[in-house]
Amino acid sequence: MHKAQIRSFILVGIGISLVACRSPTSLSSSVQSTASPAISASPSAAQTIEYKTYTLARSVVHTILIPPQSQFLLTPAVSGTVEPIGELAQRYGAIAAINGGYFDPENQKTISPVTMQGNTIAKPEDNQRLMSNLDLLPYLDKILNRSEFRRYQCGKVIQYDTTRRQMVPRADCQLQDSLGAGPQLLPNATLEEEGFLEVRNQKVIRDPLGINQPNARSAIGITRNNTIIWVMVAQKPESPSNSGMTIPELTNFMKTLGVEKAMNLDGGSSASLYYQGKTIYGKVNESGKPVQRSIKSALLIQPIKKPEN
C-alpha cells in the first residue's frame, strides 16, 4: 500500500489542533482522509473523541474513536417508530451516533433488544411478525440470543463489552445499557451460532447479511486498552453494485485498527453515521445517490453529566 497521512482534527479543551497519524500498513490500497473537529466535554478533559476516514479501493470507511476514561458515555437510543439517525441523535442531544440493531421495516418493530438505564426498552419477543415467522422458527432461539454491546457500572468504573444476550453480568457489575445486533466478528465470528448463516451439504441455505458480498456495513469494536471504535463502511457512488466491504473484509479492517472484540451492526441501507451535525449514509442506489433510510435504534456519544453541587 502507499503510505498516506490520516489527518484528524482534535479539540483539546477549547483549542483546535491538527494531528496526523499513519494509516495502518496492512491495508491493501492507498488511504486518503478528511476529518472534522472532535469535541471535548469540558476545558479540563484530556481525552477526546477522534473522527477519521479511510479511502480504500472499494469503499470509504468512517471511524470514530472514543478513548478509555474519556468524558463521554456511549448509550443506546430507540425510536418509537423509525426516524432518520440525525433526528434521533439531535433529540437526545448527542455529539455523534451510529445506526444500531435490526428491525422489521414492515411493522417498524425491533429484532434486536435495547436496554436503557437498566430497563428493557425494546425486545424482539414483542415483534409478532418475527415470533410467528415459520421460516425463522428453526433459527429463533439463536436470533433471541445474538450479540449485544453493553455498558456496565462496576463500582465507580464504567466498563464496555460485547457478549451474547443471555450472558449474565459479573456479580460486581450492573448492566446499565445494551444494544443488540450481531454477529460477533472478533475474537471469533459467530455467524452460525447467531442464526446469520446455515450451510448444509456444502451449500449455503441461509445468509441474510450477504456475508461475501460487498455492501455498506457498520460495526463497533473494543481495543486492548478499551478504546471504543465505531466503523461505518460507505459504498462508492461510481460503483454502486460492487463497492463496500464483505463481512470478512470488515473484520480484517477492524483488526488493523487494533480491535480485539467486535460486533456487527445493521448494515446495507441502514448503515449511517451522524457527527457534528452531519449525516453520512453508507448505501448508494443505482444512480450513486445516498440511500437515506430511517432506523429503529442507534448508539450515541453523549458528554458525561457531572452532578450539580
Write the CA distances from 101 to 16, 24, 127, 284, integer angstroms.
34, 28, 14, 20
Q: Specify the amino acid at residue 239.
A: S
pLDDT at position 31 = 55
Strand partners, 2: none
pLDDT at position 195 = 98
CA angle (19, 22, 28) in 5-degree steps: 145
- State pLDDT tens for residues 187-236: 999 999 999 999 999 999 999 999 999 999 999 999 999 999 999 999 99
Counting residues of the chain whose pLDDT is more than 70, the rounded percentage is 83
Helix spans in the chain (H): 85-91, 128-131, 140-143, 247-256
3-state helix, strand, coil in the chain (%, to 5): 10, 45, 45
**What are the residue ranges spanned by the domains of the chain?**
5-303
Helix spans in 146-284 (H): 247-256
pLDDT at position 103 = 98
Mean pLDDT by 10 residues, the chain (309 residues): 38 29 37 53 59 98 94 95 97 97 98 97 98 98 98 95 96 97 98 98 97 99 97 98 98 98 99 97 98 98 75
Contact between residue 217 and residue 267 where contact means Cβ atoms under 8 Å apart: yes
CB atoms within 10 A of CB 50: 21
Nearest to 75 by CA among 307, 308, 304: 304
What stretch of H or E contains 13?
none
pLDDT at position 70 = 86
Q: Round to whole Å and give the CA distance between 185 and 263.
A: 5
Counting residues of the chain whose pLDDT is more than 90, the rounded percentage is 81
Q: Round to whole Å and give the CA distance between 85 and 90.
A: 9
